[in-house]
A and B are shown apart, each in its own frame.
Chain A
Amino acid sequence: MNNQLLRLESDYRKYAEAYGKAVERDDATAANRMFDKINALGPKLRAHGMQGEAVLRRLMKDRSDVIASWAATDSLPFAEAEGLAVLDALGKKAGSIAFDAEMTAEQWRAGKLKIG
């Protein structure tokens, strides 16, 4: 894996964790800042083709719920079944991240969500 991908994966983890912590402390401003940062990384990873997708598949299985949730969402365009399985499993847990996962899966299935 090239350095650029390694860097993207590292940033993805970092921003997703920071996002989760901001959500936990009900800090919408910080959460939105992290949202913008991590939201820009999904398309960049996918732009690397199969190698980038492999990174997202790996992140989907991360022990951190917030990283897994982001990666599952970003994987929906190329690994729908796998992504939905992760989101559904997370959706059964309690808390805000779980609720987001449930809503994301619901919106995707209803065809109302575009992952660009």
Chain B
Amino acid sequence: MEQLGIAYRRFDAESRKSGAALGIDSSARHLGKVVELQRRRDAGEELNVTEKRYLLRNRHAASNLAGAVARLVDAQQRLDELPASDSLRRLLEAPSVTEAARLLRRHPGRIVRAVGVEGVPALTVSLIATAVLGPIGGAMALTGTGGIDGYAKGLLGALAHAGVDVSDADDLTRALRDNELMERIRKDAMTEGAIAAGVTAASMMVPIPKSSRRAPLSLAMKVPAANAKGRGFPTFKKFKETIGKAPPGYGWHHIVAQTTENIRRFGAENIHNTNNLVLLPHGPGTIHNKLSALYGSKKKFSGDQIIKNWLAEKSSEGQATLGRKYLKMYMKEIR
């Protein structure tokens, strides 16, 4: 049934395409004739009644042709967008993480073939790349819905929890070939803790510019070192315009806070920097909320000051080190 469904849609899209092509052909012939008659009339030649009627009937030939071209382009796009496999389409439209995971486990072969990769590990890597590219690069390789996006991030988080260095391609490849480990990873990937950890891990990786339809995997998997120079922006607004707004349920978190004083001391481009911004789940009980509460809390180790004020006196490196430490601590806590 699923093959019939996809076949019908493909047939329909192909019919529209061939109809639009015929429309272009017809409109083009009409326009050609109209141009010819207009040229003769403009040259002072008397047109007979049939020719005059033809001109009147086809006075919109040019706009008809433009419309037919637009319909052809539209039909071609629909055909291109239609997944070759219904399993893949269902995966792309999965409404939940569980459903995305179930489809992947039930139809791995069909999905792998439809995506055009060599096997499940490659697909998994592709999903992990998707997790990296999705929210921060706007260049989702496979995703389009919350289910698959969440599952991809869950895979990334579960791999990180299992001690796999997701920034190291060799370590990752070894993990992907370990069937027992991957069996566990696929189960863990559906937990909220893994998804949240994956979101954080993904957002800490090198973002890919919006213009890249598909970024090389090697680029997507590099985790910038704490002192690495990321891509800076003059304002947070500019950062979001270029890198992307946080998806619903998430928020961008500045590791070194975007206070007026920090911007003055360290420069806007170091604050609104891909190396200083992390995408975190937002809302009660999330890391983002915990961090906000923490930065407003007094501590003995901060000399009884609230953390935010204590950090303000520190260097950019000092603030970043503690900010990263807190992120890691909360990531462990929500496991």
Q: A residues near B, CB below 8 A? A: 23, 26-29, 31-32, 35-36, 39, 70, 73, 94-96, 99-100, 103-104, 106-107, 112-115
Contacts and interface: CB of A to CB of B under 8 A. Distances in A.
A113 B303 contact: yes
B233 interface: no
B106 interface: no
Contact of B306 (A27, A32, A73, A100): A32
B301 A23 contact: no
User: From DSSP, what is the main secondary structure of chain A's interface residues?
Assistant: helix
Interface string B205-241: 0000000000000000000000000000000000000
B301 A35 contact: no
B46 to A, nearest CB: 89
B300 interface: yes
24 contacts: A23-B297, A26-B289, A26-B290, A26-B294, A28-B294, A29-B296, A31-B293, A32-B296, A32-B306, A35-B297, A35-B298, A36-B298, A39-B298, A73-B300, A94-B333, A95-B329, A96-B329, A96-B333, A99-B326, A99-B329, A103-B299, A104-B300, A113-B300, A113-B303
Interface of B: 284-285, 289-290, 292-294, 296-301, 303-304, 306, 325-326, 329, 332-333
B95 to A, nearest CB: 30
B294 to A, nearest CB: 7
Nearest to A95: B333
B303 A100 contact: no
A115 to B, nearest CB: 8
A35 B332 CA distance: 25
A32 B298 contact: yes
A60 B222 CA distance: 44
Contact of A114 (B284, B285, B303, B329): B303
